[in-house]
Structure 1
Amino acid sequence: MALFLSEQDVEQLLTMPLALAEVEAAHRALSTRRAHDVPRQRTRLPQTTLHILQGALPQLDVIGYKAYTSNRSGVRFLVHLYRASTGCLLAVIEADRLGMIRTAAASGVATRWLARPDATVAGVFGAGWQAEGHIEALAAVRPLQRVKVFARRADRLQAFCARLSHRLGIEVSAAASPEEVVRGSDIVSTVTTAAAPLFDAAWLAPGTHINAAGSNSLIRREVGEDVIKRCAPIVVDSVETALREAGDLLPLFEKGRLRERDLVELGDVICGLQPGRSTTEAITLFESQGMAIQDLAVAARLAEMARARAIGVELPYGG
């Protein structure tokens, strides 16, 4: 029978090191043609939008999808995981935390491969659910000593910084301005729903790595053209997905100032098929839109662990 895992079950099982390992493996599989991924599809109504990401990892014998609805009342996530060889349902997993951790892990993997090894200071835009995971991921792959955070909600920012400082054992402090976040940072991460660029290229020091994780539609922009002009390489999780959803990049394609061949897939950097950071002075950019194979790789590992530990509830269907 299929297994159901709740948010509480996922929290019990999922760690950042696990997510980093599975997300990196998924990108290796995609680069070596051992994975299939379909860019996000959306069905929109005035009140609610349904979002679906689907794909397959044949080496794990899994195929499946993540579906979520966004509404004024909230966002609701579920992953449906099937055995590829038989078509049988393996698991249904509540995926709010799963999605947060795997999104952060994608930026963590990109940081591992693109940021300078001696990066110790990070600047983060955003103090929400996703930003929390991103800081944890950055701290897992680089010896961070300080994180500067800027967010619109100043009332939430202080509590956010105090909580992360205590949990991670590093200095996480509130920045007074976007410029303060960027200047002096070795890594800059944007995890927001901004509709306009968050910082100026002039504030970036040579050697900075940027993770842009919030711009997954045409109406969202976190990184401006002035920044993108300074970046090499421009790395994406998937070129096909970026050409559909990367709000930071799409205006430059429209103007003819960026071409598909200018984009490098993260998996190709990991596998050594494309260069990543070329010099210590290079400014590198990772544009993250999110992929089904990231969710499926993490979900498959969670389902395996849950069965071994007798965690979750058997469903009366799908076997």
Structure 2
Amino acid sequence: MLIVPEREIADLMTREAAFDAVEQVFASMASGDAYNFPVVREAIGHEDALYGFKGGFDRAGLTLGLKAGGYWPNNLEKHGLINHQSTVFLFDPDTGRPTAMVGGNLLTALRTAAASSVSIKHLARTDAKILGMIGAGHQAAFQLRAALEQRNFEKVIGWNYHPEMLPNIEKVAAEAGIPFEAVPLDGMRQADVIISITSAFAPSLMADHVSAGTHVACMGTDTKGKQEVESALLAGAGVFTDEVAQSVTIGEAQHAVAEGLIKESDVAQLGAVINGTHPGRSSDDQITLFDGTGVGLQDLAVAASVVELAVRKGIAIEVDF
């Protein structure tokens, strides 16, 4: 079995490689060549943590495995660690033997950013100029860097529950040479693309905060009860997701479906747009929304790519397991 420690990931996985891996996985899912296993996600009753497992099998890439991990909200304050902690395990689909264990913290941030970036590529208007960010935590910087590569954005605007954290994303915008402005939530009306990346259980972005033609990527809702945007926003949008079953049960669509505002059949796979079997955006005035619930196949795809690179560079640690 091979081990690729967390400390090695930054030198192995690029945003471009993560983007390609995630885009290919979405396409494989939509064509039926890959599928995710049911998600296990539970509050463990200790340290306010959410812990669970995401896994799947990609027949086309012969990638089988799971990611174990979750969210420990007290980590930064108590232990000086990031709140999201995870590890990816890969298995040989021919024999079931474990083949690799890969540090999953940075990979999670990169694949989550890649997912919203893929949605921007395929759903946002080509003339999008203003990018709105809701959230300024650890993953927000990754989201912003990836998004800026998809359109010729001229300005970044941001809002966060804790305004003192906004310099985290202002710094990223400055590095890209793009002006940044902190705005109230209704200031998001000027955005052409909005990324929401919070761990909220109550919506902050309302339908009247979003202008016609905007693309919204909701990247923080991955558990029952979580909610970043008002359900009415989904009712008035073209809704796309990574995995429909997750979207309507643990994703942003769970609330709109429960309230009877949309049906499961109203939620389309982003992979179908990539494959060309769904037209995607219907007009420049349509609001499009990507419900990024985070599927196990994303983690497996980027982890498999990392293992391949680690072996090539002689970094992977081999153990007799």
Which residue of structure 2 lines up, in the alignment, with residue 79 of structure 1? Answer: 88
Amino acid of the structure 2 residue aligned with 1:55: G
Specify which of 287, 299, 314 is matched with residue 295 of structure 1: 299
Deviation at 1:49, TM superposition (A): 4.0
Amino acid of the structure 1 residue aligned with 2:55: Q
Cα distance in 1 between the residues matched to 2:209 and 2:249: 29
Q: Give structure 1 stretches of 5+ with no counterpart.
A: none
Which residue of structure 2 lines up, in the alignment, with residue 114 of structure 1? Answer: 123
198 and 69 in structure 1: CA distance in 2 versus 1, 3 angstrom threshold? closer
SS in 1 for 2:205: coil
Amino acid of the structure 2 residue aligned with 1:241: Q
Deviation at 1:60, TM superposition (A): 2.0
SS in 1 for 2:278: coil
SS in 1 for 2:164: helix
Which residue of structure 2 lines up, in the alignment, with residue 139 of structure 1? Answer: 148
Q: After the TM superposition, which segments of 4 or more aligned residues of structure 1 sit over 4 Å from their partners?
A: none
Asked if 2 retains the 8 angstrom alpha-carbon contact of 1:157 and 1:174, the reply is no
Which residue of structure 2 lines up, in the alignment, with residue 41 of structure 1? Answer: 40
117 and 307 in structure 1: CA distance in 2 versus 1, 3 angstrom threshold? same
Which residue of structure 2 lines up, in the alignment, with residue 64 of structure 1? Answer: 65
Show the 5 A alignment for 1:299-318.
Answer: 299-317=303-321
Asked if 1 retains the 8 angstrom alpha-carbon contact of 2:166 and 2:182, the reply is no
Deviation sequence 1:45-94 (CA, Å, 0-9, x none): 31154310010112222200000144444442000011212323221111
Which residue of structure 2 lines up, in the alignment, with residue 255 of structure 1? Answer: 259
Deviation at 1:105, TM superposition (A): 0.6
Which residue of structure 2 lines up, in the alignment, with residue 92 of structure 1? Answer: 101
Q: Give structure 2 stretches of 5+ with no counterpart.
A: 76-82
Identity of aligned residues (%): 28
Cα distance in 2 between the residues matched to 1:162 and 1:42: 33
Which residue of structure 1 lines up, in the alignment, with residue 191 of structure 2? Answer: 185
Amino acid of the structure 2 residue aligned with 1:94: G
Deviation at 1:43, TM superposition (A): 4.3
Asked if 2 retains the 8 angstrom alpha-carbon contact of 1:213 and 1:287, the reply is yes
Asked if 2 retains the 8 angstrom alpha-carbon contact of 1:5 and 1:93, the reply is yes
Deviation at 1:115, TM superposition (A): 0.2
Cα distance in 2 between the residues matched to 1:177 and 1:19: 32
Which residue of structure 2 lines up, in the alignment, with residue 213 of structure 1? Answer: 219
RMSD between superposed Cα atoms in Å: 1.7
Please give the TM-score of this superposition, normalised by the length of structure 2.
Answer: 0.92
Specify which of 169, 179, 186 is matched with residue 177 of structure 2: 169
SS in 2 for 1:222: strand
Deviation at 1:150, TM superposition (A): 1.1
Question: Would you say how many aligned residue pairs link Structure 1 and Structure 2?
Answer: 311
Amino acid of the structure 1 residue aligned with 2:281: R
Tell me which moved more, 81-90 or 205-214: 81-90
Deviation sequence 1:100-153 (CA, Å, 0-9, x none): 110111111111110001112100101111111111121121112211111122
Asked if 1 retains the 8 angstrom alpha-carbon contact of 2:220 and 2:292, the reply is yes
9 and 175 in structure 1: CA distance in 2 versus 1, 3 angstrom threshold? same
Tell me which moved more, 70-79 or 112-121: 70-79
Cα distance in 2 between the residues matched to 1:202 and 1:244: 25
Which residue of structure 1 lines up, in the alignment, with residue 16 of structure 2? Answer: 17
Deviation sequence 1:206-234 (CA, Å, 0-9, x none): 21100011122232211112322221x21
Deviation sequence 1:2-55 (CA, Å, 0-9, x none): 221122211111111111110000011111111121132124431154310010
Which residue of structure 2 lines up, in the alignment, with residue 53 of structure 1? Answer: 54
Amino acid of the structure 2 residue aligned with 1:197: P
Amino acid of the structure 1 residue aligned with 2:303: A
Asked if 2 retains the 8 angstrom alpha-carbon contact of 1:239 and 1:263, the reply is yes
Tell me which moved more, 249-258 or 190-199: 249-258
Which residue of structure 1 lines up, in the alignment, with residue 208 of structure 2? Answer: 202
SS in 2 for 1:9: helix
Please give the TM-score of this superposition, normalised by the length of structure 1.
Answer: 0.92
Cα distance in 1 between the residues matched to 2:214 and 2:170: 25
Cα distance in 1 between the residues matched to 2:197 and 2:244: 20
Deviation sequence 1:163-186 (CA, Å, 0-9, x none): 203433322x24131122x12111
70 and 193 in structure 1: CA distance in 2 versus 1, 3 angstrom threshold? closer
Cα distance in 1 between the residues matched to 2:27 and 2:169: 34
